[in-house]
Structure 1
Amino acid sequence: MTSLDLTLTGAEVLLPGDGLSRCDLSIAEGVIQQDRTGRRVDLTGYLVLPGIVDLHGDGFERHIAPRRGAMKQMSEGILAAEAELAANGITTAVLAQFYSWEGGVRGPEFAAQVFRAIAAVKNSAVTDLIPQLRFETNMLEDYEGLAHRIAEWQVPYVVFNDHLPHDRLAQGKKPPRLTGQALKAGRNPDAHFEMLLNMHVRRNEVPAAVEVLSAELVSMGVRLGSHDDATAETRAWWRDRGVRIAEFPETLEAAEAARSAGDHVILGSPNVVRGGSHKGNASAVELIAMGLCDALASDYHYPSPRRAALMLAKTGLLDLAGAWALVSSGPARVLDMQDRGTLVPGKRADLVILDAGTHRVAATLAGGRVSYMSGDIAARFLG
C-alpha cells in the first residue's frame, strides 16, 4: 500500500511537550520522518494534530443495520462506517459490538457476522479497525466455547457488561420498552420476559463463570475491560481477574479506585460535550479535572472526541496538548500501541488536519495514506 511522501509546511503542528508550533512535518513510508522529504505542501491556515485513537465506539451500528434486515452486505456497512470515522479525524477505531441477550443487531449471530466483516475489510481499509466484543455476563449458556470463538473472530479486546434490569426483575415487573425490545429480537414479549427472569434468578452463577472465562482470555493475551463500574469493590473484583480497563465508571468512587490501583479509566466524549451523563452518572469533566481519565472515547457519537478535546482546551481546564492527549496518546497507551499517538519521527503518520478558524476536519491521514479530505485543502495536496 502506497503512502504519501511529502513535507507539510506553514501549519501549526501539535508536538509533544511543545503545544502548537509552526514547523515542518515530513512523512514517508507511512511514518513521520526526521528530515524533509518529498514534495512540499503549504498548509498555512491549518492545524496538524495526532490522529484520534477511539477506544470504544458503537456508532457504526447505523451503517451495518440502518433498518432491521436491510443490510445484507455487512462489509459494505463497515466501509461506510470507516468513512464516517475518517471524516471525524479518527485513525484507529475500536468497533464495540454487543454480544447480548437483547438479540437482533446485538445478538450473538449478528456479532459473528460483524466480526467476520471487520476481518474481511481490515487489510483494505485505511483506518485501523479493531474489533471489541461487549459480552453480557448473564448469558450463562454462551460461556462454553466463547474463548475459542473470540480467537476465531480475531477479537483482541473484550469488555464485560451487565445491562440486565435486575431491580425491576427482582420485583417481578416487566422492564420499560420490553415489548419493543422483544420484537426487535424476533421474540414473543412474554418469552422475552421469561428469559430475563431466568437470567436474573441465575445471577449468582455468573461470578464463577466469569472467573473461568477471564482467566482463559488473559492467557490468550486478550485485553479486558469492565463497563459501568459503580463501586470500589466492583472495580477491585474485576481487577483481581485481570480486567484492567474501567470503561465509563459511574461514580467518583469507582474511578478513584481504578486510578489508585493503576487501572486505565476511559470516559465518554459525549459526556464532556453534553456537560454531563445522560444517565445521571459521574460528570466526565469533573473526573478529568481530578486527573481521573486516561482516555476519551466516542461511545455512540464519532464527532465527540474532537469536540470534547477542543472544548476542554477552550474552557482552560486543560491546555490543548493535555486535552488532545486524551484522544490520541492516552488511548494509544491503553491499547499498548507505542507506534502512534504523537507526531514524532518514527511513529505512524496518523494525523488529522483541522481548519484553524473553524476547527472542522479538513483531512485525515492514517499510516501516511489519505482516509478523508474535503474542500479547499484537496487543491493544496494535488498541487
Structure 2
Amino acid sequence: MSLEITLSGARFLRPDGWDDAPLPLAGGQFVDAPAGRAIDLSGFDVLPGIIDVHGDGFERHMAPRRGALRERDAGMVAVAAELAANGITTAVLAQFWSWEGGLRGPEFAREVFDSVRLMQDSVPIDLRLQMRLETHMLDDLDAAEALIAEHGIRYVVFNDHLPHARLAEGRKPPRLTGQALKSKRNPEDYFKFLLDLHARGPEVGPAMEALTARLAAQGVTMGSHDDHSAEDRALWRARRAQVSEFPETLEAAQAAREAGDFIVLGAPNVVRGASHAGNVSAQDLIGAGLCDALASDYHYPSPARAAWRCFELGLLDEADAWHLVSAGPAQLLGLQDRGRFAPGCRADLVVMEPQTRRIVATLAGGRVAWMSGDVAQRFV
C-alpha cells in the first residue's frame, strides 16, 4: 500500500539544491498540496530515489553457490531488499546473453527474465531488464530478439568480449579451462567453439546493423559497452546505439560527448578512485564533464557513495552529484516520471542521516521498501 503523508522538517534535495519545503505524497506520487498524516523528519536529509541503469549484483543472490544452488524467485526478493537498503528505487538488471555460458549464458538469462516478470508486483522496487548481448552470438540472435520482445526489454547493450588477438594466433586465452568448467564444457571443445565464433567476424557487422535497425524501430534504447576509441563510438552510433557504457579511454568519452551521446560510468570506479581493469579513471571523466549517469556495475552500495565522493572531491556540488544517480539516469532511460521531487512524479525517495550519510529509509512508489533505526519511530 502506498502511503499518504507529508514529510517536513528535513532538508530536501531539489534540482537547485537543498530547501525545507514540505514534500507531500499520495497515490504513489508526489502531489502539490499537503496530504494525509504529517511526518516530522527533522535532522534527516531526503533525496530522490536512485535509478541504477546497469547492475549485475543480482547474480550472487540468484546463484549463491555456483554450480550448487540456484535461488530464482527467493533470490529476486533478496535482490530487491539489497537495492532498497542502498537507496535504489529503479534498478536495471544487466544480464548477459553470452557465449561464456553459466551465469552469462542464455539459460540463466531466461531464469532472470522470468523471475523479474513473476516477482515485479511483489516488491516495491521497479525492476527492469537490460540484455547485454555478445555480438558474435550469431546463431542465437533470433532467440535473443524474441526474448527481448517477450519480456518488453527496453534497453540492450552490445559487448564483444572475445579474446580476438589470442584466437587470431590460434592460442588459448588465459583462464580458458576455468571458464569452460564453470559452464560445464570440455575445455578443448570450448576452445574450438571460441575459434569458430572468432572466424565468423565478417558476419557480425551486417547482423548487428539489421538487428539494431529493428530494435530502434521499436523504440529500444541501445548502447555499446567498453568503447575504446572514437571509432568504436562512431561505429555504434551509426547503428543507433546512443549510450556509451563504461568508455575505457578519454578519447572514447570525448567522442560520445561531442556527438551528444549518453555516457554511463561505473560508480565503483569513482569509489575506488581508479578502474579495476586499468582503464581511464571515472573521477577524471566526471571532472571533465564526461558523465551523464553513474551505475552500480557490480556493487549496489556504490552509486550513493560515488555521488558523495564526487562532492567530497570538489568535482560537483551536491545537487549535480546526486543528479548522476537520479535525474540523469531517468533521462537516459526515457523515464520522465522519476528522478526528482515534482508533482506527478513517482514517489521515490531516500532518507539519509546527514552525518554518516547512511540510508535509513527508502520509499519506492510511495511504498516502504526499506526502513531501519530511529527513523521508523517518525513514521509509526
TM bucket, shorter chain = over 0.9
Equivalent in the alignment of 2:41: 43
SS of structure 2 residue aligned to 1:224: strand
Amino acid of the structure 1 residue aligned with 2:258? S
Contact 1:119 1:154 in 2 (8 A): no
Q: CA RMSD in A?
A: 1.1
**CA–CA distance in structure 2, aligned partners of residues 4 and 123 of structure 1:** 17
Deviations 1:186-212 (A, max 9, x none): 001111111111111211211111111
Equivalent in the alignment of 2:2: 3
Equivalent in the alignment of 2:296: 298
TM-superposed deviation, 1:73: 4.4
Aligned counterpart in structure 1 of residue 357 of structure 2, from 356, 359, 364 = 359
Equivalent in the alignment of 2:106: 108
Contact 1:112 1:153 in 2 (8 A): no
TM-superposed deviation, 1:78: 1.1
Worse-superposed segment, 93-102 or 116-125: 116-125
What is the identity percentage for the equivalent residue pairs of Structure 1 and Structure 2? Answer: 59
Deviations 1:263-301 (A, max 9, x none): 111000001000011111111111111111110000000
**CA–CA distance in structure 2, aligned partners of residues 60 and 72 of structure 1:** 12
Amino acid of the structure 2 residue aligned with 1:122? Q
**CA–CA distance in structure 1, aligned partners of residues 152 and 116 of structure 2:** 9
After TM superposition, what 4+ stretches of structure 1 lie above 3 angstroms from structure 2?
69-73
TM-superposed deviation, 1:146: 2.9
Equivalent in the alignment of 2:30: 32
Aligned counterpart in structure 2 of residue 133 of structure 1, from 131, 134, 140 = 131
State the TM-score, normalized to the length of structure 1: 0.97
TM-superposed deviation, 1:44: 1.3
**Superposition map of 1:224-303 within 5 A:** 224-303=222-301
Deviations 1:293-322 (A, max 9, x none): 110000000000000001111222110000
**Superposition map of 1:75-94 within 5 A:** 75-94=73-92
State the TM-score, normalized to the length of structure 2: 0.98
**Superposition map of 1:170-181 within 5 A:** 170-181=168-179
Change (3 A) 1:122 1:244: same
Equivalent in the alignment of 2:205: 207
TM-superposed deviation, 1:72: 4.3
**CA–CA distance in structure 2, aligned partners of residues 145 and 345 of structure 1:** 41
SS of structure 1 residue aligned to 2:248: coil
Equivalent in the alignment of 2:322: 324
SS of structure 1 residue aligned to 2:223: strand
Amino acid of the structure 1 residue aligned with 2:83? L
Amino acid of the structure 2 residue aligned with 1:267? L
TM-superposed deviation, 1:181: 0.7
Aligned length: 380
SS of structure 2 residue aligned to 1:34: coil
Deviations 1:71-104 (A, max 9, x none): 4441211111010000000000000001111101
Runs of 5+ unmatched residues, structure 1:
none
Contact 2:9 2:41 in 1 (8 A): yes
**CA–CA distance in structure 1, aligned partners of residues 62 and 291 of structure 2:** 31
